[in-house]
Amino acid sequence: MDALAAGSSPVHALCPLAKLFATIIYIVVVVSFGKYDLAGLVPMVLWPVLLFEISGIPVRTCFHKLRFVLPLVLAVGLFNPLFDRAPYLALGGITISGGAVSMVTLMSKGTFCLMASFLLMATTRIDALCAALRRLHVPGIFLTLLLLTYRYVGVMTEEVAIMTDAYKLRAPGQKGVHYTAWGSFLGQLLLRSMDRAEELYAAMRLRGFHDHFHYAEAAPCTAKDAVYLVICIAAFLLLRFVNVAALLGSLLVR
């Protein structure tokens, strides 16, 4: 993520505060769609897709990096078709229940929000983001916690990779870690991560760290950033209150 965030596209160059506001507003707008309003929701995907294109970050990178989280998001609403069986629409000869539509809507909302959040993280350095949050008067202790968590997630995933490699080398032919080893694997992972986290924290304290990070000086927001934010808000409102899909459909059918 750090390497992605170090890019130099026009999206990367935007003020972190503007990107943060745009992302928050996007998420609020996406969440505000009704559970059966799939047609209205779908055009909202255009915003992240467009920004992925401009920032030069392939969309597949997003899905690859989020492959462990996406199933959780997709699991939301999985049982809707069982509880809401009332027919909602008919496509050709097939009747689709309200539960099926609401399930797809919920899944889409989750996926769009994840894409937007990923885009923000992939085009904004974490300390720049924290600096932006600091300007919004978010408490410093919360930001320190955020930064430390961000750093320690990397530490933990490195330990997982090392342990998984060591396991595979002595367990040929197995796919993943056998469930009988999950307990000890997780226990060891926790102990090793704690040891390493303690070492890291000691290294930080030895270099004068006192529960406060010195964030990069965030570039001030310019007119360009304001224009970006205004365009984003206008586009979101347009997509929220005008059913673009239905409008296009009616034009084509006519």
Partner 1 sequence: MIAFQNVSFSYEKERPVLQNLSFSIGDGEAVGLIGANGAGKSTVMKVLLGLLPCEGKVLVDGIEVGHGTLYEIRRKLGFVLQNSDHQMFMPTVYEDMIFGPLNYGASRAEAEAHADAALAQLGIPALKHRHNHKLSGGEKRMAAIATILAMQPEAILMDEPTAALDPYNRRLVINIIRSLNQTKLITSHDLDMIRDTCSRVILLSGGTIAADGDAETILRDRALLEANRMELPLSLQ
Which residues in this chain contact partner 1 in the complex, by CB under 8 A? 2-3, 6, 125-127, 151, 154, 158, 196, 199-200, 202-210, 214, 217
Distance CA 64, CA 61 (A): 5
**What is the largest distance, in Å, between two alpha-carbon atoms of the chain?**
72
SS3 of residue 41 by DSSP:
helix
The beta-carbon contacts of 191-197 under 8 Å, at least 24 apart in sequence, are 192/159, 192/163, 193/152, 193/155, 193/156, 193/159, 196/155, 196/159, 197/152, 197/155
Q: Which is nearer to partner 1, 167 or 209 (CB)?
A: 209
> CA-CA distance, 154 to 242, in Å (whole number)?
42
The nearest distance, CB 203 to partner 1, in angstroms, is 5
Shortest Cβ distance from residue 61 to partner 1 (Å)? 16
**Closest distance of CB 169 from partner 1, Å:** 19
Compare residues 145 and 246 and give the one whose CB is closer to partner 1: 145
- Tell me whether residue 9 or residue 243 sits nearer to partner 1 (CB atom): 9
Residue closer to partner 1 by CB (options 70, 204) is 204
Tell the smallest beta-carbon distance from residue 150 to partner 1 (Å): 10
Residue nearer to partner 1 on the CB measure, 116 or 128 = 128
CB of 5 or CB of 232, closer to partner 1: 5
As measured in angstroms, the least distance from the Cβ of 144 to partner 1 is 13
Closest contact distance (angstroms) between CB of 159 and partner 1 is 11
Helix 223-241 to helix 16-32 angle (10° resolution) is 10
Q: Could you tell me which residues are beta bridge partners of residue 89?
A: 96
- Output the smallest distance, CB 103 to partner 1, in A: 39
Q: Residue 36 or residue 150: which is nearer to partner 1 going by CB?
A: 150
**Is residue 44 within 8 Å of residue 165, measured between CB atoms?**
no
66 contacts: CB under 8 Å, gap ≥ 6: 114, 118
For the chain, counts of helices (H) and of strands (E):
14, 2
**8 A C-beta contact, residue 62 and residue 95:** no
